[in-house]
Amino acid sequence: MKVLIDQGKCVAAGSCVMAAEAVFDQRDEDGVVVLLNPDPGADLAEDVREAAAVCPAQAITVKD
């Protein structure tokens, strides 16, 4: 699994962090998403897909 983010689309909602905190974080200064793990293991796949699904800005892309 490969995870890509588009920081330009991010609206700093934090939904991704709540869904997959091992993969996503937010910048302190503006809340924009930070990708901690671009290649998460199978154990995180469900959480990452949930994060992508709940992102209000559709700033997360998941490639299998």
pLDDT by residue (tens digit) across 6-60? Answer: 999 999 999 999 999 999 999 999 999 999 999 999 999 999 999 999 999 999 9
Longest dimension (CA), the chain: 32
The number of folded domains in the chain is 1
Q: Which residue in 1, 33, 42 sits closest to 14, CA to CA?
A: 33
pLDDT at residue 8, as a whole number = 98
Q: Outline where the chain has alpha helix (H).
A: 15-19, 45-54
Compute the distance between CA of residue 31 and CA of residue 55 in angstroms, rounded to an integer: 14
Which residue segment(s) compose the domain that 40 sits in?
2-63
The domain that holds 12 is classified in CATH as 3.30.70.20
